[in-house]
Amino acid sequence: MLSEQKLSNPPPPSVSATGTKSRPLRLWKAVVFRGLLPLVIIAAGGFLSVWMMETGPQAKPRPRERNVTLVEVRAVDYSSQQTTISGMGTVSVACSVELQPQVSGEIISLNPNLVPGGHFQKGETLFNIDPTDYRLTVRERATDVAKAKSDLQLEQGNQLIAKKEYKLLGERVSDQEKELMLRQPQLKNLQATLEAARAKFDKAQVDLGRTEIKAPFNAVILSRDVNIGTRANESSVLATLVGTDAYWVEVSVPVSQLRWIQIPHTRKDPGALVRIYDTAAWGDNIFRQGRVIRLKSDLESQGRMARLLIQVEDPLSLQPDHSDQPRLLIGSYVRVEIEGNAVASAAAIEREFIRNGNNVWVMTDRGNLAIRPVEIAFRGADRLLVTGGITSGEQLITTDIATPVEGMPLRTVDDTTSQTATREPDTQGGQS
């Protein structure tokens, strides 16, 4: 049965033969597909790249633009320029006194205004010392004068008698004997006694007047050291007074700038005009005026600066003419501006526009940077006066340039505006 079944179901010969033939074909196709496909893709990508490069937009070379720096400028102007010397100073008193009595005694009265800061006119009474003893002394001295006058009158009567007796004698005598006979020594003695009595009387009256102590000048009270009941003598300090007619300001300035300042040699010579500022106390742009009166003969020990004395009249603004002006206080640290001699022809340039000591930056007519050394006649606190190196009308650069190079191209805001205005019509035309 088995053999018959095997014989009756043999494998079909066509199937095995076909499968054997198609298997190498599939392998070949797989090899071709896997090997050639990447090459085809690479070739296609290369072709596409070449095509895009050939047909894409071409980059056209553009001219290289120069880097032009934008600056601000102003025209240089030459004219007569006033020099101003700046400095700092301290307000001090021009006149002060420690008031001491010339007679001793008890203080019996004080002026109600006799307090620190009180003002007095010259001749006003400040203190009164008990005058009782001095009035008694005046009466005693007056009695002495009266007695001396009486004695002198008696002696003058004796002189008349002596003269008559001398004539009646009719003898020649020496000059010395004649003087004795005419009682000349007695007369001279009594005359001297009378003069001494009168001098003592005058002295007593003066001492009586000194019991009333008055202000020696227009003054303000700086301090008071006594009260009613104080026993004062010639060595006692009653009060300290400061004159109010004028204060001084002592200012330090460089020695090199003295030649610009008008310093008087006599009281009749006018000194340089000075403006005094105390911004902390008065505010901005408020000042008092004064004048230079003297130059001190020595320099500062530390800064080696010259010292000027400036006088300010009526510093406390007590007079009606100065009632609207600020008051100077003793010890204040103030800023001063001294009007110096003028420079006939100079250009005023701010200190910040002077580069590296004595150079300026100038924009030439061709729009380039020029670095110029200039001649500086005067150096002030904020500005310098230039007399050479730059001419009137040239364009001074007022902008800081990070890396200035001689000849570098520059432009101004006006140049930029004009270029923009000329380009706008061209742009509009291209769009249309």
Question: Does residue 333 lie in a domain region?
Answer: yes
Residues 337 and 357 in one domain: no
Cα angle 345, 350, 354; round to 5: 95
Residues 297 and 273 in one domain: yes
Model confidence at 183, in pLDDT bands (50, 70, 90)? confident
Per DSSP bridges, beta strands 333-350 and 383-388 are antiparallel
φ and ψ at 383, to 5 degrees? -140, 160
Residues 255 and 337 in one domain: yes
Whole-number average pLDDT of the chain: 84
- Full residue range of the structural domain in which residue 166 is found: 131-210
pLDDT tens across 389-422, in order?
999 999 999 999 988 999 999 998 876 544 444 3
Q: What is the CATH number of the domain that holds 370?
A: 2.40.420.20
Residue 89, pLDDT > 70, answer yes
φ and ψ at 69, to 5 degrees? -90, 135
Residues 335 and 375 in one domain: no
pLDDT in the model for residue 327: 94
Residues 314 and 372 in one domain: no
- Residue 262 vs residue 12, higher pLDDT: 262
**Which has the closest alpha carbon to 329: 217, 218, 216, 222?**
222
Instruction: Give me the DSSP letters along 165-196.
Output: HHHHH-----HHHHHHHTTHHHHHHHHHHHHH
Task: Give yes or no for a contact between 337 and 283, defined as CB atoms under 8 angstroms apart.
Answer: no
pLDDT tens across 117-162, in order?
999 999 999 999 999 999 999 999 999 999 998 888 887 787 777 7
- Looking at the structure of the chain, the number of domains it has is 3
Mean pLDDT of 217-223: 94
Q: What is the CATH number of the domain that holds 328?
A: 2.40.30.170
Residues 320 and 257 in one domain: yes
Distance CA 174, CA 179 (A): 9
pLDDT in the model for residue 116: 93
pLDDT tens across 54-87, in order?
776 666 666 655 678 899 999 999 999 999 999 9
- Least confident stretch, 63-67, 92-96, 213-217, 327-331: 63-67
Domain boundary among 341, 368, 388: 341
Question: Does residue 230 lie in a domain region?
Answer: no
Question: Does residue 188 lie in a domain region?
Answer: yes
Residues 360 and 316 in one domain: no
Task: Give yes or no for a contact between 179 and 185, defined as CB atoms under 8 angstroms apart.
Answer: yes
Residues 260 and 311 in one domain: yes
Residue 38, pLDDT > 80, answer no
Query: What pTM did the predictor assign?
Result: 0.68
Question: Does residue 107 lie in a domain region?
Answer: no
Residues 330 and 367 in one domain: no
Task: Give yes or no for a contact between 104 and 130, defined as CB atoms under 8 angstroms apart.
Answer: no
- Residue 182: how many CB atoms within 10 A of its CB? 16
Question: Does residue 122 lie in a domain region?
Answer: no
Residues 251 and 306 in one domain: yes
Mean pLDDT of 90-111: 94
Question: Does residue 265 lie in a domain region?
Answer: yes
- Residue 27 vs residue 195, higher pLDDT: 195
pLDDT in the model for residue 126: 94
Residues 288 and 199 in one domain: no
Domain boundary among 319, 341, 363: 341
Residues 336 and 251 in one domain: yes
- Residue 90: how many CB atoms within 10 A of its CB? 14
Question: Does residue 202 lie in a domain region?
Answer: yes
Question: Does residue 89 lie in a domain region?
Answer: yes
pLDDT in the model for residue 272: 93
Domain boundary among 162, 193, 210: 210
